[in-house]
Amino acid sequence: MKTFKLIAAAALVSGFLGGVAQAQHAHELAIPPRNEWSFAGPFGKFDKTQLQRGFKVYKEVCANCHSINLLAFRNLGEAGGPGFSQGQVKALASTFKIKDGPNDAGDMFEREGRPADRWPSPFPNKQAAAAANGGALPPDFSVIAKARTYPRDFPWFLVDMFTQYQEHGVDYITALLLGYSDDTHGVEVPAGKYYNTYFPGNIISMPKPLNDGQVEYIKGADGRSQVPETVEQYSKDVSAFLMWAAEPQLEKRKETGFKAIAFLIVLAGLLYFTKKKIWARIEDHHSQA
């Protein structure tokens, strides 16, 4: 009976979490490979240089079609992010023209960007964005790293709870960027669409966005970049950047979590011994009564 109860209890835990993973669906999809991320795990932190590289990829490639409406220039200089200096943020913002107004005369006008401004959208509205991209709206990138995932089957979604694997979104995005292939595996791809191994349904409207050597990374003293200028590296870097953009407070959250849990464990220990001591008085209590 004891064993049975234990099994039932284990089933209880697995069951309710089982439902969670089921939120995702069961199309026959390729499973994105797992990557090593500096921001994974309880002590995870963003790699500043990776965020800066990822930002460069976004700015030079993705930003041509994809907006990132919730990102302000100032965010790029805030703690827990790519760590640009205030001067760099200011300089960057000033390279953009921001539509403002109306002024006292009632006219709209353009002015230089300021750190408090949000990243300007590449298109004036969603319709224009879709029209310029064969009818498919390029999704906004503000929280896309949290808005994408892939299904984790039993028992892996349970394991994820303990290992804190939360990087489904970035792994998916990385895989998607690397998932373009000329071999369509028998899938008929309409004109203006592309085959992608990891995209649900395998047919994606976005052409292969990245190519080797497309984005120039900052060179070291030896005149070479610290990391290879390859599609694989670009994909990882821009995914990391998107994770930060989706969750700029991630580092602070994990740090606070560690402090909170450490405090609670100490408090629980103290309470446990207090409880033991108080409950040891029961005989006294009843002999007085």
Partner 1 sequence: MSGHSTYVPKSAIGRWFESRLPIMGLIHSSFVVFPNPRNLNYYWTFGGILAFMLVSQILTGVVLAMHYVANVDLAFNSVEHIMRDVNYGWMLRYLHANGASMFFVAVYVHIARGLYYGSYKEPREVLWILGVIIFLLMMATAFMGYVLPWGQMSFWGATVITNLFSALPGVGETIVTYLWGGFSVGNPTLNRFFSLHYLLPFMIAGVVVLHVWALHVPGSNNPAGIEKKTDKDTLPFHPYFTVKDAFAVVCFLIFFCWFAFYIPNYLGHADNYIEANPAVTPSHIVPEWYFLPFYAILRAVPDKLLGVLAMFGSIAILVFLPWLDSSKVRSGSYRPAFQVFFWVFVANAIVLGWLGGKPPEGLYVHASRLCTLYYFAYFIVILPLLGKFERTRPLPASIAEAVLGTSGSASAMAGSVAASPNTKG
Shortest Å, Cβ 60 to partner 1: 24
Shortest Å, Cβ 275 to partner 1: 5
Contact residues toward partner 1 (CB under 8 A) are: 1, 4-5, 8, 11-12, 14-27, 42, 70, 75, 139, 142-144, 146-149, 160-161, 164, 166, 168-169, 200, 246-249, 252-254, 256-258, 260-261, 264-265, 267-268, 271-272, 274-276, 278-283, 285-287, 289
Return the number of the residue (226 or 249) whose C-beta is nearest partner 1.
249
Q: What is the Cα–Cα distance from 203 to 211, expressed in whole angstroms?
A: 20
Shortest Å, Cβ 143 to partner 1: 5
Residue 159 DSSP SS3: helix
Return the number of the residue (10 or 189) whose C-beta is nearest partner 1.
10
Shortest Å, Cβ 272 to partner 1: 6
Return the number of the residue (139 or 232) whose C-beta is nearest partner 1.
139
Return the number of the residue (6 or 128) whose C-beta is nearest partner 1.
6
Shortest Å, Cβ 269 to partner 1: 9
Question: Which of the 8 DSSP states describes residue 283?
Answer: H
Return the number of the residue (19 or 223) whose C-beta is nearest partner 1.
19
Q: What is the Cα–Cα distance from 158 to 66, expressed in whole angstroms?
A: 34
Q: Which residues of 21-53 are buried (b: 16+ CB within 10 A; e: fewer)?
A: beeeeeeebeebeebebebbeeebebbeebbbb
Return the number of the residue (44 or 232) whose C-beta is nearest partner 1.
44
Shortest Å, Cβ 213 to partner 1: 33
Return the number of the residue (56 or 148) whose C-beta is nearest partner 1.
148
Q: What is the Cα–Cα distance from 279 to 260, expressed in whole angstroms?
A: 28
Shortest Å, Cβ 285 to partner 1: 7
Q: Hey, what are 186's tokens?
A: 């028998």
Shortest Å, Cβ 209 to partner 1: 20
Cα–Cα separations (whole angstroms), residue 205 to 30, 38, 193, 195: 18, 31, 5, 9
Return the number of the residue (138 or 210) whose C-beta is nearest partner 1.
138
